[in-house]
Structure 1
Amino acid sequence: MPATIANGDAPELAFHNIVDGKPRSSDVKEQVIDPRTEEVGWDVPVASAQDLDDAVDAARRAFKTWRFVSHDEREKILQSVADCLRTNKDVLAQAHMKETGKSFIMASADVEVAALHYEYYKGMTLEDDVQYEDAEVKIVGTYVPIGVTAAISPWNFPLILSSVKVASALATGNCVIIKPSPFTPYAILKFCELVQSVLPPGVFQALHGGADLGERMTLHRGIDQISFTGTVAVGQHILQNCTKTMKKVILEMAGNDAAIICEDADLGKVIPSVAHGCFFHAGQVCVASKRIYVHESLYDKFMELFIEEAKKWSPNNILFAPLSNRPNFERAKSILEDSKKNNHDIVLGGEVKNDEKGFWLPPTIIAKPPEESRIVQEEQFAPITPVMIWSDEDDVIARANLENSGLGASLYTPDLDKARRIAQRLESGSVWINRFERPHFGAYFAGWKLSGFGGELGKRGLYDYCQVQCLHFHK
């Protein structure tokens, strides 16, 4: 039976690495810091090199039979995984709160979205397709699982973003070993432990550790694929490592998303959407609106309304949150200090209360910083938003298309023909029109340029978890 707890009452929980269907402890323990209070959380065991080897061996054994499990049977199992998430929602949400700083409502929503990913993929199949046929030959393309996938997930949305990787791997017949971020291991480890009741041993395993464990995964000869979400620098290093064993690789990396507000935009509708795109979870979203470009005819009115809207995002707002860990907190403060040093016009926020507990930054708006400034060129991953002005369409598109902006963008105009014309000139894997950026499980999500390699989500995303095998039938 799942543990039941009331909203806000944190239970005492034990955490384990999961290897071959069984919990495994370690002599080496770490703790997570609660970003709201800076209190030390529960112990979590650190996986050893032997734990990784054992997990890979278990996954390779399990793959021999799991790869041949019928689609109907995998569909039932994926539904059981979704049911397990929902049955244990309160426990998982409480663990999620302690590691991410999210409110109970936000953490609960993350559990539900994770469950939806499993339900979406349970009904998804990759059908064989006839690639060529004539009087002599018929060539059929088939899609077969790769083998053992190592999933390295980030700290901002641990359950949601890990569920994308795990559900995709399981739906295509792969076995998967997940390594959560060392800042947010709780919910993933607990979920993996709970779901062993519905999965064969070795099919889904979880190991906690830092960069050294991730390094071993990327170099391990028993792992066939890496799926990673994180920074550009780490993603580039993973790509280099994977060439040594020719692993398949999926990388979802930084996205310095631009939001473009056109001259015909309805500010009454646009302002709340842009603010949500900037400040939801304190801007710690891969596709948050990180640079705002407003047409010159609307700029003054936009700023007046945007400042007032941003004031609604505070610790009292259940959709706002502290920065999830000290390194991100310190990095965000350094970006803010850089703007102060360079006399940028900070029209809202900008002050950090160092005498208070928690990694809190207030919603901060910087008006018209130079295009070459750090606040514009770098992905902030914090509630710090630069707002610039534009007048020429070619110019704003060129400014939007930074090398690190290939994950997403948003665009606001009621003229959908114009929206399509501009959107197709933006060098981003996804463009949201008249809405803040948010991935959808039915749409392929892939970064361009420095923002990614391969992709996930949607039916198209499953192909990245498969090998293509062509069968040549000679008549």
Structure 2
Amino acid sequence: MTITYDSLLSEITAPDGRDILDPATGELVGKAPFRSVDVLDDAIARAKAAQPAWASRSDDERKALLLQAADAIDAAAEPLAELLSREQGKPLEGPNARFEVGACANWLRATAATELPGRTLIDDGETHATIHYRPLGVVGAIGPWNWPMMISIWQIAPALRMGNTVVVKPSEYTPLSVLALAHVLDTVLPTDVVNVVAGEGDLGARLSSHPDIAKLMFTGSTRTGQAIIKSSADTVKRLTLELGGNDAGIVLADVDPKAIAQELFWGAFINTGQTCAALKRLYVHTDVYDDVCRELAEVANTTPMGRGLDEANVLGPLQNKAQFDIVADLVDKARSSGATILTGGAPDAEAPGYFYPTTLVANIDNANPLVSEEQFGPALPIVRFESVEEAVEMANGLDVGLGASVWSADLDAARAVAARIQAGTVWINSHGGVHPMIPFGGVKKSGYGLEFGVEGLAAVSAPQVING
């Protein structure tokens, strides 16, 4: 059966549900069925009941079903992308809605292709010990509103591959996208292997404390992550936490500003800056500072922003009013401090939607709130430095450390600087790219635990050593 946009929406909405509005226009997208804690408890019970049969399937069977799920997403890619664009706001084109849906299918395939076999640890004639990776049971997943489908797959795919079942609580802002994704998965997967329950924050609190949730995966703010750590303590839950970041980029003096401008721009402004591992504060050597600012402004001024369904656009609105207000307040504080607004900084108060113009802020102090607080939107502060030591000190000066980047024509010099930066991932001459085979996770208050690749599979497994 062919899945259309209308048929997809009819499967996941409810007449008495919560209104979900398009952040670009304010128009109704659909009514999301927000459920109670009792409904969540029932979903957990069903996931628990379904888990033994799922775990008893062979690894090859589970891999085959993940591949079929990827094919199902591909077959429904256009209606999924349209719904995502309407609900989240991101454009269809560019590294946005179609890209995100495609990434869901690609991640399922990559997860199916990744191997985590048991292995012999020691066999010396006296001692024989092997390690094996067993299912945990039911994995809980709490996702964000910025990449709702893709991050849900990041949580679902490895958990399923290792024999767990999953209960997902999507963000209140983007529940329809995740419900639609689950509907497509359900056309292939056994009943109750993946369960999505939309609702308020009390559902997340229940997931983090429920005794039948063996592992919780969370992507979101540091503050919420800290609450999850506390509420999961009584049940000693395993946790993977990908929390807030305020990623630094360091541009060394030997770069060609024009050559790096596009990569710098998209490192900061992918998904209109609404990405955990986006470049959020840029440190530029004084020798190339003015040229980098000029080239970035040129890219910003020629990159179209608007409603996502218009395929000419590659930047969209902020997803919600709360985030719009955060960005506007931080830019206003920067302006009041005497910083230079190179471009943007003046949203149209009369226009519909939560559009904040692409904004570059120069001549700003490192202590300014736009630098020290995560803006999570289309506003990039550009700080001047004179020595590498100064740049590294500023980059390491915050209590978060998700990602960072170093930009240089000299790879050895860049790698030497990268080794000094306190971040889970440091990119060289790019920023924010992730790969399904490369582990990803933060340090400091950006969380703990690794996703992707072999390490990601291990993180949703219970290692068991057999000694003898």
**TM-score range for the pair, normalised by the shorter chain length:** over 0.9
Partner Cα separation in structure 1 for residue 351 and residue 7 of structure 2: 25
Equivalent residue, structure 2, for 1:464: 459
Partner Cα separation in structure 2 for residue 224 and residue 95 of structure 1: 32
Partner Cα separation in structure 2 for residue 54 and residue 200 of structure 1: 17
Deviating more after overlay: 185-194 vs 68-77: 185-194
Runs (4+) off by over 6 Å: none
Q: Given the alignment of the two structures, is residue 32 of structure 1 paired with residue 27 of structure 2, yes or no? A: no
1:254 and 1:404 in contact (8 A); partners too: no
Q: Given the alignment of the two structures, is residue 433 of structure 1 paired with residue 423 of structure 2, yes or no? A: no
1:443 and 1:458 in contact (8 A); partners too: yes
Q: Given the alignment of the two structures, is residue 89 of structure 1 paired with residue 89 of structure 2, yes or no? A: no
Correspondent of 1:360 among 355, 364, 370 = 355
Give the % identical residues. Answer: 32
Equivalent residue, structure 2, for 1:14: 10
Q: 1:143 to 1:204 in 2, by over 3 A?
A: same
Partner Cα separation in structure 1 for residue 303 and residue 431 of structure 2: 16
Partner Cα separation in structure 2 for residue 267 and residue 127 of structure 1: 46
Partner Cα separation in structure 2 for residue 176 and residue 12 of structure 1: 22
Q: Given the alignment of the two structures, is residue 311 of structure 1 paired with residue 301 of structure 2, yes or no? A: yes
Unaligned runs of 5+ in 1: 18-24
What amino acid is the match of 1:119?
R
Q: CA deviation at 1:235?
A: 0.6
Alignment of 1:230-269 (within 5 A): 230-269=220-259
- Look up the SS of the partner of 2:412 in the other structure: helix
Correspondent of 2:263 among 270, 273, 279 = 273
Unaligned runs of 5+ in 2: 307-311
Partner Cα separation in structure 1 for residue 154 and residue 30 of structure 2: 26
Alignment of 1:158-197 (within 5 A): 158-197=148-187
Equivalent residue, structure 1, for 2:290: 300
What amino acid is the match of 2:181?
F
Q: Given the alignment of the two structures, is residue 378 of structure 1 paired with residue 368 of structure 2, yes or no? A: no
Partner Cα separation in structure 2 for residue 110 and residue 194 of structure 1: 15
- Look up the SS of the partner of 1:467 in the other structure: strand
Partner Cα separation in structure 2 for residue 231 and residue 404 of structure 1: 13
Partner Cα separation in structure 1 for residue 289 and residue 356 of structure 2: 25
Alignment of 1:33-432 (within 5 A): 33-105=21-93, 106-315=96-305, 318-432=313-427
Q: Give per-residue Cα distances to partners, 1:68-121, cap 9 Å, x unaligned.
A: 211110111000110110111122112111111112233122111100000001
2:114 and 2:453 in contact (8 A); partners too: no
Equivalent residue, structure 2, for 1:4: 4
Aligned length: 461
- Look up the SS of the partner of 2:120 in the other structure: strand
Partner Cα separation in structure 2 for residue 31 and residue 408 of structure 1: 35
Q: Give per-residue Cα distances to partners, 1:151-209, cap 9 Å, x unaligned.
A: 10111111111111000111111100111111011121012123222211121111001
Partner Cα separation in structure 2 for residue 59 and residue 149 of structure 1: 9
Equivalent residue, structure 1, for 2:309: none
Partner Cα separation in structure 2 for residue 296 and residue 154 of structure 1: 37
1:14 and 1:43 in contact (8 A); partners too: no
- Look up the SS of the partner of 1:104 in the other structure: coil
Q: CA deviation at 1:11?
A: 7.1
Q: CA deviation at 1:257?
A: 0.6
2:139 and 2:165 in contact (8 A); partners too: yes
Deviating more after overlay: 375-384 vs 455-464: 455-464
What amino acid is the match of 2:328?
K
Q: CA deviation at 1:15?
A: 4.7
Q: CA deviation at 1:319?
A: 2.2
What amino acid is the match of 1:279?
F
Q: TM-score of the superposition, structure 2-length normalised? A: 0.95
Q: TM-score of the superposition, structure 1-length normalised? A: 0.94
Q: CA deviation at 1:4?
A: 3.5
Partner Cα separation in structure 1 for residue 435 and residue 399 of structure 2: 21
Q: CA deviation at 1:396?
A: 0.6
- Look up the SS of the partner of 1:66 in the other structure: helix
1:62 and 1:175 in contact (8 A); partners too: yes
What amino acid is the match of 1:325?
N
What amino acid is the match of 2:409?
P
Q: CA deviation at 1:140?
A: 0.5
